[in-house]
Amino acid sequence: MKESVYNWNGEFIASQQLQTDIQNRGLNYGDGVFETLKYANGRINFWEDHYFRLMSSMRILRMEIPMNFSPEYLEEKLLETARKNGIEKAARLKLLVTRKPGGFYTPANNDIDYVITAEPLKQASFKLNEAGLTVDLYKDFFKARNLLSNLKSTSSQLYVLASIFRQENQLDECLMLNDQKYLTEAISSNVFIVKDKEVSTPSLKSGCLKGVLRKNVIEILSKMDYQVQERDAISPFELQKADEVFLTNSIKGLQWVGQYRKKKLEPILSPLLTERLNIKVALG
């Protein structure tokens, strides 16, 4: 099996040669953010949305943004990493940014390190899942509602524990609740609920991730014959009354939920949205 090549601060290093400093702040304090991006047919899906989310996240975390971190520079580094790994069709790219080692809770400085990794994907276009997902609520811990909750942070213990719960209970996904016991997101996706001609999704104030695909699905829905609502307080009981529930993720696209507890669901809107997403990606 060919060894992966990583991009460490603009320099390409074989995966076995990349060493982690024991003082790495991502390792010690979860002091980092990341973007997971889909590379397909020579370009990155929704690159502008990913870039501006990353810049916003770094500013919120008081990280020093390097002068060369332009959209063009980072896009080229991402594409180059895919090429260096021999990936032509599709890839899952990850751009991880951490504050440089030094200090304890108080950092020695706010300069950053970054690393880009690439893993091949079989599917370039978005493809709706054939079998519906089986999901349930994760209620052992709840997500806080604040500005940090919207970031793709390396502080991910809540998602790790929810994933263990998912695995132990033979589920495909778990739906998360915030500290007011309202729906906020899934482990690795945003969530949408369809009832008649209304589509509801938790608002950013609910504590959900500021998802790139979430944003683009909302934009598509706003041009269709549906009323879209970003709501602060969606009760889990609404899942029992829904006509459809689907999840959005930058790599997988849309995934429809087939069963929530004893409630059976079918794909209604998600097939059409998947088609329109693929058209939007093709048009750039």
pLDDT for the residue numbered 41: 86
**What's the pTM?**
0.94
CATH 3.20.10.10 in the chain, residue ranges: 133-283
What does the chain come to in residues? 284
Cα(22)–Cα(106) distance, integer angstroms: 17
Cα(24)–Cα(243) distance, integer angstroms: 47
What class, spelled out in words, does domain 5-120 have in CATH? Answer: alpha beta
pLDDT for the residue numbered 13: 86
Measured N-to-C along each axis, helices 47-60 and 71-84 cross at an angle, to the nearest 10 degrees, of: 110
3-state secondary structure of 245: strand
CATH 3.30.470.10 in the chain, residue ranges: 5-120
CA dist 208 to 90, 148, 182, 213, Å? Answer: 27, 10, 11, 13
Cα(270)–Cα(191) distance, integer angstroms: 12
Q: Tokens 């059409």 — which residue?
A: 272
- In the structure, how many helices (H) and strands (E) does the chain have? 7, 15
Q: Tokens 């269709």 — which residue?
A: 224
pLDDT for the residue numbered 2: 67
Query: What tokens does 36 get?
Result: 């997971």
Query: 133, 189 in Cβ contact below 8 A?
Result: no
Instruction: Specify the DSSP element, H or E, that contains 22.
Output: none
The ranges of the chain with pLDDT < 50 are: none
Query: Cβ contacts of residue 56 below 8 Å, gap of 6+?
Result: none
What is the signed CA dihedral for 98, 58, 207, 92, rounded to 10 degrees? -60
Cα(55)–Cα(161) distance, integer angstroms: 28
Query: 116, 94 in Cβ contact below 8 A?
Result: yes
Cα(67)–Cα(95) distance, integer angstroms: 17
For residue 271, which phi and psi values (nearest 5 degrees)?
A: -65, -45
Query: What tokens does 206 get?
Result: 């609910």
Query: 128, 258 in Cβ contact below 8 A?
Result: no
One-letter identity of residue 7: N
Query: What tokens does 207 get?
Result: 């504590």
Half-sphere exposure of 27 (CA within 13 A, CB side): 10
Choices 3.20.10.10, 2.60.120.10, 3.30.43.10, 2.40.160.20: CATH for 133-283: 3.20.10.10
pLDDT for the residue numbered 4: 85
